[in-house]
Amino acid sequence: MRRVSTPNVPMYMRFMLPAQVQARFGPTEETVTAVIASLRGHGLTVERTTATTLRATGTPTIMEQAFQTSLHQFQQPATDKAPAVTFRAPNTRPVVPVEIASAVGTVVGLSTKPVFHSNVHRARASLANAHVQWSAVAGADSAPVGNPGFLTVLDVAARYNINPLYQRGIMGHGRTIGIVTLASFTPSDAFGYWNSLNLKVDPNRLIVVNIDGGPGAPSDASGSVETTLDVEQSGGVAPDAKIIVYQAPNNFQGWVDAFAEAIQSNNADSISSSWDAWEAFANGVLASDVADPFSGQVVTFAQAAHELFVAAALQGQSLFADSGDYGAYYLAGAIGRGTLGIGTFTTPLSVDFPAADTAITAAGGTTLPVTIVAALPSGPLSINVRTERVWSWDYLQPLCGCTSS
């Protein structure tokens, strides 16, 4: 993977086809046949879905017997930050059948609990009960662009010097963007956005692939605004590119199946996802991972995902994920959002998954130059961010101090 991505080495950009990756690094046909036979021997119906994934279906009783666990239905009540959710999950860590333990990377699907979320924020009209007005300013490093909350792909092109590429005709022609997402969207919304900016786009540029039946109808509660945002912005920066949206239910199985399909099909040049989770979820803490009966070690979802990412890199597919908004304090942010439902405890240092994976590029946000005027009882308070900086809210501390007193 490193050699095909490192300039000035013999293997640079000598990418492989999916069949070549499978032949050299994937499981042998004998191994796959043995795993299928074992699962069928436990009463499961099994089909091969990609080079490295199988779908096994059966009754709850058969699943419990095959993986030595007990499945239960759970209800998580609504909070002021998250809707109520009902999900299925095992109450003990599943165990891989002994005869296939060495061949299984991970088992997903026994739990249907939503575990991934997006990091969408809206520019607020008030902060701490004080009305605020946002105004873009000409900082020391740039001319002004649109106001926060109203930035468009045209602002991005102006701010980050993309317009010279457009002038040379480099607008994404012949390229395909893949988006892995866990909420559905309304395609006409994206076309409405592009049309409002007078972008000339192919009316047939969008393909939607529903994974595992899809994530259901668009809704605010499911996070459809994230999918819409991803499609609009990526497709707006590269108006001539094709877009494939791989949309799946919000759980471990939907997530891994969507990436497996996007990578196995090899139709997208780049694949991005703006959905993430606490890295410990992916590494076996509170997750639906399984135990190896020989070593007792946990077979993790994160390792299986990493192997998918490496396969993508070997094929020349670039992967991107959002880095999240909390740096090394991801868990503290997740508890503050009320997305974990696991109570309060000392928060260890932790980061965002999949951005934590070494085979994916993590992309973080920035704060652009801006003037914020807050209408306080004591008079207006002006806060100036003069230059572009790493995304953070700490510049609002003067406002917090005034309103709290």
**Which pLDDT tens digit goes with each residue over 14-41?**
999 999 999 999 999 999 999 999 999 9
- Residue 357's pLDDT band (cuts 50, 70, 90): very high
Q: Which residues, including other chains, have CB under 8 Å from residue 32's CB and lie 6 or more apart?
A: 48, 54
How far CA 39 is from CA of 26, 93, 145, 325, in Å, comes to 19, 18, 58, 41
With residue 382 as reference, give the H or E element that holds it: strand 379-385
Q: Is the dihedral of CA 338, 365, 275, 210 positive or negative?
A: positive
Q: From the CB of residue 67, how many other CB atoms can be counted at a distance below 10 Å?
A: 24
Print the SS3 string covering 206-226.
Answer: EEEEECCCCCCCCCCCCCHHH
- How many C-beta neighbours within 10 Å does residue 55 have? 15
3-state secondary structure of 276: strand
Per the domain annotation, does 351 fall within a domain? no
Residue written as token pair 């102006």: 158
Task: Give me the mean pLDDT over the 393-397 stretch.
Answer: 80
Instruction: State how far the Cα of 107 lies from the Cα of 220, in Å rounded to an integer.
Output: 30
Residue with tokens 């299984």, as numbered in its chain:
104
pLDDT at 268: 98
Q: CA 281, CA 354: separation in Å to the nearest integer?
A: 11
pLDDT at position 213 is 96
- In the prediction, which pLDDT does 138 show? 54
Is residue 75 pLDDT above 80, yes or no?
A: yes
Query: Each residue of 283-324: pLDDT tens digit?
Result: 554 444 566 666 665 667 888 899 999 999 999 999 999 988
Provide the pLDDT for residue 247: 98
How high is the pLDDT of residue 285?
A: 45
How confident is the model at residue 293, as a pLDDT?
A: 62
pLDDT at residue number 41: 97
User: Quick one: how far is CA 347 from the chain centroid?
Assistant: 23
Helix, strand, or coil here: 181? Answer: strand
CA–CA dist 37, 60 (Å, integer): 19
CB atoms within 10 A of CB 389: 14
| C-alpha of 64 from chain center | 30
369 lies in a domain?
yes
What is residue 146's predicted lDDT score, i.e. its pLDDT? 64
**In 207-216, which positions are buried (b, 16+ CB within 10 angstroms) versus exposed (e)?**
ebbebbeebe
Answer yes or no: is 379 within a domain. Answer: yes
User: Considering the domain boundaries, does residue 374 fall inside one?
Assistant: yes
pLDDT band at 11 (very low <50, low <70, confident <90, very high): very high
| Tokens matching residue 182 | 């866990």
pLDDT in tens, 88-139: 988 888 888 889 988 988 888 998 988 888 888 777 777 767 787 777 765 4
**Longest Cα pair distance anywhere in the chain, in angstroms?**
76
Rounded to whole angstroms, what are the CA distances from 194 to 231, 236, 341? Answer: 10, 6, 38
The structural domain count of the chain equals 1
Residue 375 domain-assigned? Answer: yes
pLDDT at 142 over 50: yes
State residue 50's pLDDT score. Answer: 93
Provide the residue range defining the domain that includes 146.
124-151+365-405
For tokens 């095959």, the residue is 66
Task: Please state the rounded mean pLDDT for residues 235-246.
Answer: 98
353 domain-assigned? no
* pLDDT value of residue 333: 66
Q: How far is the C-alpha of 252 from the C-alpha of 88, rounded, in Å?
A: 12
**How would you classify residue 79: left for phi > 0, otherwise alpha for psi between -120 and 50, otherwise beta?**
beta
What angle (nearest 5°) sits at the alpha carbon of residue 104, between those of residues 268 and 92?
A: 110
**Of 281, 258, 282, 283, the residue nearest 271 (C-alpha):** 258
Find the range with the poorest average confidence among 65-74, 161-170, 315-324, 385-394.
385-394
pLDDT digits (tens, 9 = 90+) for 182-214: 999 999 999 999 999 999 999 999 999 999 999
Global pTM reads 0.89
- Statement: residue 332 has pLDDT above 80: no
Mean pLDDT estimate for the chain? 86
Q: How far apart are CA 43 and CA 38, in angstroms?
A: 9
**377 is a domain residue:** yes
pLDDT number for residue 292: 60
- pLDDT, mean of residues 270-295: 70
Give the sign of the dihedral formed by CA 92, CA 256, CA 190, CA 186: negative
Yes or no: say if 319 and 329 are a contact pair by the CB < 8 Å rule.
no
Residues in the chain: 405
> What is the pLDDT confidence band of residue 81, given thresholds at 50, 70 and 90?
low
CA atoms of 326 and 399, how far apart (whole Å) = 21
Indicate whether 386 belongs to any domain: yes
Helices (H), 315-405: 330-337, 397-404
**pLDDT for res 269:** 96
